[in-house]
Amino acid sequence: MNRETPLLARYAEGLFWMARYLERVENLARLLDVTQTFESPGRETESWMAMIRINADEEGFAKTGLAVTADNVKRFYLTDRTNPTGIPASLEAARTNARTLRPLISTEMWMQMNVFHRDMLAIQEDELQGDKLSRLCSRIKEGVQAHTGITEGTFFRDQGWDFYQLGRLIERADQTTRLLDIRYHLLVPGGAEERLAAELTQWGGVLRAAAGYHAFRRVAPAGFTPADVVSFLLHDNSFPRSVALCVEMMEEHLGKLRSRYGLRGTVSALERVEELRAGLRGRPVEKIIAGGLHNFLDGVQRDLIILAAEIGTAFFRDWRPLAEGQMQSQSQA
Amino acid sequence: MPIHSTETPSDPFAAYHPGPYFCELTRTRAEDGGAAARVRSRIQAIGLDALRARAAAAENDLINLGITFTIYSDSTAIDRILPFDCIPRILTAPEWRQIEAGVKQRVAALNLFLHDIYHGRKITKDGVVPADLVYGNANYRPEMEGFPVRFGTYVHICGTDIVRDENGAFLVLEDNARTPSGVSYVVENRHLMSRAFPDILAGMKLHPVDDYGRRLLTAMCDIAPEGVDDPQVVLLSPGIYNSAYFEHVFLAREMGVPLVEGADLVVERDRVFMRTTSGHKAVHTIYRRIGDDFLDPTVFRPDSMLGVPGLIGAWRKGNVTLANAVGTGVADDKAIYAYMPRIIKYYLGEDAILPNVQTNICREGEGLDYTLANLEKLVVKPVGESGGYGITIGPRATKAEIEAARASLIADPSNWISQPVINLSVAPTLTEAGIQPRHLDLRPFAVTGRDTWVLPGGLSRVAMKEGSLVVNSSQGGGSKDTWVLMDEQDGGAAQ
């Protein structure tokens, strides 16, 4: 009964990407929500343009031929099924992966995924408007959180679980850097005092989007500054969406794949994680900001892409020739 | 409420009239121990409206659970559920004993036949079956000649399509000896029944149906190449775009084995491996759910992307077992079907426990004469390919169609068989017009490794359209939970 069962490379890859796509869906909902709260009268376009920029979707959006307006950007991410970085396509990809994983995942996971998927494909135009958008974003977040909870409670803990978590953590770390980056794209006009107050309001919005507002207040010094917020989202050891904690947990799962399941091929991925950690730990936040937060975040995002590629090469690539379509669409990070 | 009350105004059975057909529920069968009457009274107690609401909720469950098959048209793929009818179909213990024995007998004969035609060819030499029907058949595989299979089992999984005539006699309509599907619905229908209609099921002494996966895995391990201690079994599926993908998932899960696609397998030095996160792991038995033609592009269809290059080589070396074996399609062909009673007699010295539908073989003078004289009453079928092509249903055909069939028959008699029209039995089925009789068939599933086990019951497929005899899921057919009652002989009274 305790025989360690092998895991098909294709299943490992499916788990990794299913988790990634779902994490992406949750974070897109978070970003959309915070973008709406950043909308200031007369400057709506700017904040929605920022949404496109932090997702590196300038090119994809341009292809729609539409003007950057609140409505068009919301549709691009919430109802446009042809946008590969939007919520419908991400959820579709998650479900397709789940479908190939049905022999492995629990019936409850599959059932929730089906119902959630159907719900999301039925989003109506009017749900994108005004106060309804925030409610829609909550529903999306809750859909993914329900998935996460069901998975935690029902998914078998063999090596598949570690691949699933790796996908989730890499995506989550990536998304936290994007959330942090949103501030870079939104300059606040006005004098120094006014700017600081307005900036802190915006950082409060970022923290809320990351569900970290209250946790931050618990650990933040009195008279905190924007640098403290950045430090919290990058470095905190206890906040589940902080980049540092995500990286630490990636290391744990990679370590378990090596020690418990005897998987060779974790070496270069572990080295990459070590570099990521050193890059985060080694530099105080003031230095990071002085050197340009945006560039730093870009660097973290690049490292995460390389890490994902290394996991792919070590564990997934074997199962079919690289040239095939599904691989490529999944490889875009 | 009295059990046989049909007078209540709300009685959902009030307008139920099975007509000349054998009804699977309302025809009195003493040996059912009153089960049918109890089901009927329980449904009456629920009432039509509640029954409809609960049936709709149950079907919604199936959608949420993704218990679906996929229909492809032009560019779209639609996930459909197999419509589930909540009124069960009941088989009594004696009825089941006949079916079970008949299926086992048939499977034994099919395997003996396959062994013979791929080895000594005695049956054709003895003139029992015409040689050209066998060796000229498109599904005959010369690759199998002289090739040994463990326990002489070629048909590891067999689905036997059985109908019931107006007298209640069971008749075999078809053998499915390649990759029969539908067993997942047998098990899922029972699960659904117990979730959605526990009050109809309560206290019924039924043979369980959830042992299929364990039995199947045991058989798959039994047939693994000799000398392998702890065989690795896999289920080979064409993948998520196959209409029966749900069933492949179901079977892999029930057996607890990996569901693989062609690209997951690799052949090295005539051994089959699956690609895992920790490298290549040996595979010993493959329950394949893809057709012979697609198994190995280096041997069969070179354009097939579904199979595994080198698989047939590994199999011929005896390093891996395929279930079902290659080349079983010759045995479940329409042309061979007509000879099954004689095949059973030839190998087993027994009469068929489950008779064929009476079949006139037109290549034989007697069959041709009878067919030509009775065209208006008979169904005339070409023996070649399946798919319903070229069938003439006498009672529904025009004069011109009859004459066209006559001309074809005379031109090439050996291409044809004829059968009487069978008045398929009916069962009460929930429809928009209330509970109505609908025609149905039965496909029991037999698993054979060392020996044969038959899953109690089978898939009851129901033609949901009034008067229709077409039960196929692709044509809107549905299914019912199929009960096999236990009696004293099974260690349970039918109480």
**pLDDT for position B68:** 77
CB B441 within 8 A of CB B461: yes
**pLDDT for position A333:** 38
B25 touches chain A (CB under 8 A): no
pLDDT confidence tier of residue B1, bands split at 50, 70 and 90: very low
Question: Cβ separation of B277 and A99 shorter than 8 Å?
Answer: no
Tell me the average pLDDT of chain B. 91
pLDDT confidence tier of residue A328, bands split at 50, 70 and 90: very low
Section B375-387 average pLDDT = 79
Tens digit of pLDDT for each residue in A60-88?
A: 999 999 999 999 999 999 999 999 999 99
**pLDDT for position B138:** 87
pLDDT confidence tier of residue A2, bands split at 50, 70 and 90: very low
Nearest CA of chain A to the CA of B290: how many Å? 17
Nearest CA of chain A to the CA of B77: how many Å? 13
Domain edges within chain B: 95-170+208-348, 360-420
Identity of the amino acid at A62: A
Identity of the amino acid at A29: A
| CA nearest to B260 within chain A | A8
Q: What does A283-306 look like in DSSP terms, one character per residue?
A: S-HHHHHHT-HHHHHHHHHHHHHH
Residue B5 has pLDDT above 60, yes or no: no
Nearest CA of chain A to the CA of B444: how many Å? 24
Tens digit of pLDDT for each residue in A83-129?
A: 999 999 999 999 999 999 999 999 999 999 999 999 998 999 999 98
For residue B38, how many C-alpha atoms fall within 13 Å in the half-sphere facing its CB? 15
Section B68-96 average pLDDT = 83
Nearest CA of chain A to the CA of B265: how many Å? 8
Spell out the residues 6+ positions from residue A179 whose beta carbon is closer than 8 angstroms to its own: A27, A30, A31, A34, A54, A206, A209, A210, A233
Chain A and chain B share a number of CB contacts under 8 A equal to: 67
The CATH code belonging to domain B360-420 is 3.30.1490.270
Section B415-444 average pLDDT = 94
> Which of B249, B253, B274 is nearest residue A8 as measured by Cβ atoms?
B274
**pLDDT for position B8:** 47
**pLDDT for position A192:** 77
Question: Cβ separation of B264 and A96 shorter than 8 Å?
Answer: no
**pLDDT for position B311:** 96
| CA nearest to A107 within chain B | B65
The C-alpha atoms of residue B111 and residue B343 are separated, in whole angstroms, by 11
B252 touches chain A (CB under 8 A): yes
Residue B65 has pLDDT above 60, yes or no: yes
Question: Cβ separation of B276 and A7 shorter than 8 Å?
Answer: yes
Q: With a CB-CB cutoff of 8 Å, which residues 409-438 of chain B face chain A? A: none
Q: Which CATH architecture has domain B95-170+208-348?
A: 3-Layer(aba) Sandwich (3.40)
> Which of B63, B252, B277 is nearest residue A7 as measured by Cβ atoms?
B277
Residue B60 has pLDDT above 70, yes or no: yes
> Which of B252, B264, B277 is nearest residue A315 as measured by Cβ atoms?
B277
| CA nearest to A96 within chain B | B240
**pLDDT for position A130:** 84
Q: Which residue has the higher pLDDT, B306 or B201?
A: B201
B387: buried, middle or exposed (CB in 10 Å: 19+, 13-18, 0-12)? exposed
> Which of B65, B259, B275 is nearest residue A9 as measured by Cβ atoms?
B275
The C-alpha atoms of residue A192 and residue A198 are separated, in whole angstroms, by 10
Section A16-20 average pLDDT = 97
B274 touches chain A (CB under 8 A): yes
- ipTM more than 0.90? no
**pLDDT for position B386:** 52
Spell out the residues 6+ positions from residue B212 whose beta carbon is closer than 8 angstroms to its own: B183, B186, B187, B254, B445, B447, B455
Spell out the residues 6+ positions from residue A134 whose beta carbon is closer than 8 angstroms to its own: A33, A36
Section A311-322 average pLDDT = 71
Spell out the residues 6+ positions from residue A139 whose beta carbon is closer than 8 angstroms to its own: A119
A259 touches chain B (CB under 8 A): no
A325 touches chain B (CB under 8 A): no
Question: Cβ separation of B278 and A264 shorter than 8 Å?
Answer: yes
Section A182-186 average pLDDT = 67
Tens digit of pLDDT for each residue in A205-248?
A: 889 889 999 999 999 988 888 889 999 999 999 999 999 999 99
Question: Cβ separation of A114 and B66 shorter than 8 Å?
Answer: yes
